Structure 1
Amino acid sequence: MIHKPLRTLTAATSLALAACAHSSPLLDGASMTNASGKTVTDRQPVKEWPLRFDSHKFSVFTYDTYGARVVYAGQLQIDQDDDELKRSSASYGPDYQRSWSGIHGMIRNFPAPAKVSWRSKDGQTHEAEIDFGEIFKDERVRHNVPRDEVADMANGEYRHEPSIILEINDRTIRVYMRAFIPTKDFQIPGNPYSDARDEVVLVETYTY
């Protein structure tokens, strides 16, 4: 039986900033080849705003749960031991989301809803279906960079693949997006590898 969650929309975001460890191939001085095989070097302001995506990466992270199991995009994404209570998010500190990123990539928008089952810390069983196609139906990239701060890109096209991240935390499921957004200015003064923002943005919260 699938429980009906109490659904809460939120615009809250993580303020964590991750400096990019390498330059994007779209931002360096080298030429690149487009889908038709034509070499392009023309960097322009982004043509489409808001930024949109047609494929994504995906990962699941669990805290204070037993036996979490998630099936999405035709794959078993996670299948954890039913006898082991996962550590709490608090035990990792306030920046526990810092290392999150999508692992399963090149998922075209959008497969059928993710099927999720787990037991909360109190031992109660839960099941849910999370419909990313509905959550992200406008295919808009969630990020915090104003248009006038986004760096010019090859042919003015945004080609990065954002991550959709599912957090299962005791009785709460949260859906996030993490997207690499090249910026005109360094985010850390003097650091040439900080020419982007890569933040975890909270999109949806469900409580069970």
Structure 2
Amino acid sequence: MEGKGPWPLRFYSHSFGARHFHTQRCQIIYNNNSFTRLTGDKPAGPPPVPNWQDDWSAHYGVVPSDHGGRTFPGPVELWWTSLDGVTHEATLDLDALFKERLILHSLAKDEIPEGWLAGCSRDPISPDILVEVNDRTVSIYMRALVATKEEQIPGNPHSKGRNDLMLAWTHTY
């Protein structure tokens, strides 16, 4: 789908991923798919390592043409039991949260190569939308690779891009 212009950066398709920690049980459903099918009925402990989010990415692609042109085919449905035994339920309306379809990033326009930016009007970025349930807190993040003019790791010409995990929303129940 063609974008309206290269700035601000926008998206129309996305990938989705979800994880849960510190729960007695958890079910995360998006687009009729369970993202806790193998782990939802089992207690979940802490994250495997402190910096686990550094490499967190989504693997379930969502293309608007598969859903009547809609960016989001529906809400994310959550049912979980926190460590204290309290049962929770939530519906996450991604369409309302990302109403303007803006890519969340920390770069200024002048830090991005003009040619790459112009290409985004023809082929918009497809970010990862990531949901985390951690005990009583639900967080929604976005991760999107955005090209940069400068190397992010000095001396590494393959590091001309940022793929930062950006917090979009969080709520403690």
TM value normalised by structure 2 = 0.85
Alignment of 1:103-142 (within 5 A): 103-108=59-64, 109-142=71-104
Equivalent residues of 1:73, 1:107 under 8 A apart = no
Gaps of 5+ in 1: 1-34, 36-46
Q: How far is 1:76 from its partner?
A: 2.0
The 1-side partners of 2:131 and 2:116 are apart by 31
Match for residue 143 of structure 1 among 105, 123, 126: 105
Which residue of structure 2 lines up, in the alignment, with residue 185 of structure 1?
150
C-alpha displacement of 1:73: 1.9
CA deviation string 1:37-62 (max 9, x = no partner)? xxxxxxxxxx5211000010000011
Give the secondary structure class of the aligned counterpart of 2:20: strand
User: Is 1:77 matched with 2:35?
Assistant: yes
2:167 is the counterpart of 1:202: yes
More helix by share: 2
The residue identity in structure 2 corresponding to 1:150 is I
Query: What are the superposed Cα offsets for residues 89-124 of structure 1, whole Å, 9 maximum, x if unpaired?
Result: 3x621x221111011013431121111111111122
Q: CA RMSD in A?
A: 1.7
Q: Which has the larger radius of gyration?
A: 1
State how 1:3-42 maps to structure 2 within 5 Å: none
Q: Distance in 2 between matches of 1:123 and 1:137?
A: 34
Partner of 2:55: 99
- The separation in 2 between residues aligned to 1:64 and 1:160, in whole angstroms, is 33
In structure 2, runs of 5+ residues without a counterpart are: 65-70
Identity %, equivalent residues: 36
- The size of the alignment, in residue pairs, is 160
Q: Report the equivalent of 2:125.
A: 160
Distance 1:64 1:178, change over 3 A: same
Residue 78 of structure 1: CA displacement? 2.1
The alpha-carbon distance between structure 1 residues 125 and 55, as it changes in their structure 2 partners (threshold 3 A), is same
TM-score, with length taken from structure 1: 0.72
* SS in structure 2 at match of 1:69: strand
| Preserved CA contact (<8 Å) 1:65 1:118 | yes
Select the structure with the greater relative contact order (CA < 8 A; seq sep ≥ 6): 1
Equivalent position amino acid for 1:126 in 2: H
